[in-house]
């Protein structure tokens, strides 16, 4: 009954070729087939935003897509942003402003915010609130995340 589909995809600059069951979710493909476990799954119905990744630079919910749909496309996950030794300015800002607690939702916030800051390098508080309103966080109450985004904007402008 299982139908398999071939997928050629570039993830964080690296090319992958895989044969996946047609119904495999993109989130499961990334996490379990490729071992890119930085992308987290919080609800599997597209509300919490934890599984957000970039598809050709645009944020998408990887739990609402099939792996088969990314054939021929480019994906960026949180592992593509930076490393513990050399973090992206946005990641640095999250640490400095205490923008995370348990850290489970954090990769989704980061991946939503990278394109947001590219489009809007100097956002207001209100714009940041709107930008992250599709990502749920149960720990922080969001204030330190907003602080982190403002700090990141400054850091990125200085570069």
Partner 1 sequence: MDVRTMTKKYVGQRITRNEDPRLLTGQALFTDDVHLPGMLHAAFLRSDYAHARIKRIDTSKALERPGVVAVYTAADMGDFWKPGPLLVPPPTAVPGAVFHKRTQIPLAKDKVRHMGEPIAVVIAESRYIAEDALEDIEVEFEPLPAVVGLEEALSPDAALVHDDLESNLAAHVIQEKGNYEEAKAKADVILQRRIVVDRGAAAAMENRGVVVNWDDKAQELTVWDTTQAPIPLRNGLAAMLGLSEHQVRVIAPFVGGGFGPKIMMFQPEEVLLPWASMRLKRPIKWIEDRRENFLATTQERGQIHDVEIALTKDGRILGLKDVFIHDTGAYDPYGMTVPLNTQCHAVGAYDIANYYTEVKMVFTNKMIVTPVRGAGRPQGIFVIERMLDLAAKELGLSPIEIRKRNFIPPDKFPYEHNIIDQAFAPLIFDSGNYPAVLEKAAAMINYEYFVKEEQPRLRAEGKHVGIGIVSFIETTGVGPYEGARITVGASGKVNVVTGVGTQGQGHFTSFAQIVADQLGVDVRDVHVVTGDTAQFHWGTGTFASRGAVVAGNAIHAAAVKVRAKILQWGSKLLDVPEEELELADGKVRVADMPEKAISLGELAVIANPLRGTVEPGTEPGLEATDYFGPQYGATANGAHAMILEVDPETMMVEIKKYVAVEDCGTVLNPLILEGQIQGGLSMGLGNAYYEKLEYDNNGQLLNASLMDYLLVRSTDMPKQIELGHEETKSPLNPIGSKGVGEAGAIPVPSLFAQALENALADYNLEITEMPLSPNKLYEMVYKK
Please report, as ranges, the residues that interact with partner 1 according to CB under 8 A: 21, 23-24, 31-32, 35-45, 47-48, 50, 77-79, 81-85, 87, 91, 94-96, 98, 100-107, 110, 128-130, 132-133, 135-146
Minimum distance from residue 21 beta carbon to partner 1 (Å):
7
d(CA 52, CA 41): 9
Minimum distance from residue 62 beta carbon to partner 1 (Å):
13
Minimum distance from residue 17 beta carbon to partner 1 (Å):
20
Coil vs helix vs strand at 106 = helix
Minimum distance from residue 49 beta carbon to partner 1 (Å):
10
Residue pair 75/39 in contact (Cβ under 8 Å)? The answer is no
Q: Where are the alpha helices (DSSP H) in the chain?
A: 26-28, 89-96, 106-119, 125-131, 143-158
Q: What is the DSSP string of 54-92?
A: EETTEEEEGGGSBGGGGTT-EEE-GGGT--SSS--HHHH
Identify which of residues 48 and 68 has a Cβ nearer to partner 1 in the complex.
Answer: 48
Residue where the block lists tokens 């720990």: 139
Identify which of residues 25 and 70 has a Cβ nearer to partner 1 in the complex.
Answer: 25
Identify which of residues 9 and 81 has a Cβ nearer to partner 1 in the complex.
Answer: 81
Identify which of residues 32 and 72 has a Cβ nearer to partner 1 in the complex.
Answer: 32
Identify which of residues 122 and 143 has a Cβ nearer to partner 1 in the complex.
Answer: 143
d(CA 149, CA 38): 20
Minimum distance from residue 4 beta carbon to partner 1 (Å):
13
């Amino acid at each position: 009954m299982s139908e398999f589909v071939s997928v050629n995809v570039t993830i964080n600059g690296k090319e992958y070729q895989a044969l996946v069951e047609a119904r495999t979710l993109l989130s499961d493909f990334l996490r379990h087939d490729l071992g890119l476990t930085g992308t987290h799954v919080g609800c599997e119905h597209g509300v919490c935003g934890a599984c957000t990744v970039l598809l050709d630079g645009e944020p998408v919910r990887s739990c609402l897509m099939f792996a088969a749909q990314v054939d021929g496309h480019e994906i960026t996950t949180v592992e593509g942003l930076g490393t513990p030794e050399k973090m992206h300015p946005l990641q640095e800002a999250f640490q400095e402003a205490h923008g995370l607690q348990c850290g489970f939702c954090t990769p989704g916030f980061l991946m939503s915010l990278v394109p947001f800051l590219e489009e809007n390098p100097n956002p207001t508080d209100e714009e940041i609130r709107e930008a992250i309103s599709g990502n749920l966080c149960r720990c922080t109450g969001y204030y330190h995340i907003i602080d982190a985004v403002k700090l990141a904007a400054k850091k990125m402008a200085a570069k």
